[in-house]
Amino acid sequence: MDYSEVLRRLDPIMDKAGELIMAYQTKDKKIEYKDQVNLITAADRESEVFIYGELSRVFPADSILAEEGHKKEGSSGYTWVVDPIDGTTSFAHGFPFFCISAGLLGPGNEAVLGYIFAPLLNEKFTAFQNGGAFLNGKPIHVSEVGALSGALIGTGFPYNRRTIMDRLLRRLANFLYRVHDVRRTGSAALDISYVACGRLDAYFEEGLQPWDVCAAQVVLQEAGGQISKFNGDRFDLFVPETAASNRKLHAELLEVLSKE
């Protein structure tokens, strides 16, 4: 498959989805709650319907798995994994760190292509297997920070955080003792992309879903970073543990994650 051609054909789809989302900056977002902390807006629904329809038209043989329930089985062996808005809470509150995320899985569920578009920030992170990683068309690479003591790291909190609060706070405290500082944007796809371009040096979170990570995984790895489960095992999109770093910090990141 020619991944550069796939990105070229994906670009107008993502641009239009961004326009749809940005239109909601000046109209009712129609916010609803799936549970106590997990919300959805009309923009999520409209973005997903549009992206699903366009992917089905442009790549008719591919399967699709999207966050808000749109899915189809294709014959190509490739699957699009889509988050119509990653960081919906940020979007709903007017906090600018949200994005559209579209990743492509190849045979064997290996992530091979990623496209992340933050429309309010006008930033596009793109990558495909063995093709490098880019921000707005310019090559990016992870940072050279070699110790957690000098690292700015990112994290996030799962939707079930109220039931596991003690563990989350212990883990956060362990890092706060070791790192330079911690940031949270509310978008896993952006946080991992920020590791890829050196804005963050590492990132961890539990409870993520495939559409949160699929595209960003490719961007990170093509930028020279590393991603794994908390115990260091091979990363699995369908296991909700994500430890991402500039590679130099990975052993130390896992060491802190191992402490409860």
Mean pLDDT on 182-211: 96
**222 or 32: which leads in pLDDT:** 222
pLDDT above 90 (res 248): yes
Select 3-139's CATH number: 3.40.50.720, 3.30.540.10, 3.40.50.620, 3.30.2350.10: 3.30.540.10
The mean pLDDT value for 115-132 works out to: 97
Reported CATH class of domain 148-257: alpha beta
Once rounded to an integer, what is the mean pLDDT over residues 63-78?
95
What per-residue confidence (pLDDT) applies to 257?
94
Q: How many CA atoms lie within 13 A of 60 on its CB side?
A: 1
Alpha-carbon span 239 to 141, nearest angstrom: 26
Whether the CB-CB separation of 1 and 78 falls below 8 Å is answered with yes
pLDDT at 37 over 90: no
Q: Where are the domains of the chain?
A: 3-139, 148-257
Nearest alpha-carbon partner for 115 in 92, 95, 86: 86
42 CB contacts (<8 Å, ≥6 apart)?
24, 28, 29, 30
State the pLDDT at residue 126.
98
**Statement: residue 81 has pLDDT above 90:** yes
> In the numeric block, which tokens belong to residue 55?
């992917």
* Of the candidate ranges 37-51, 197-211, 215-229, the one whose mean pLDDT is the lowest: 37-51
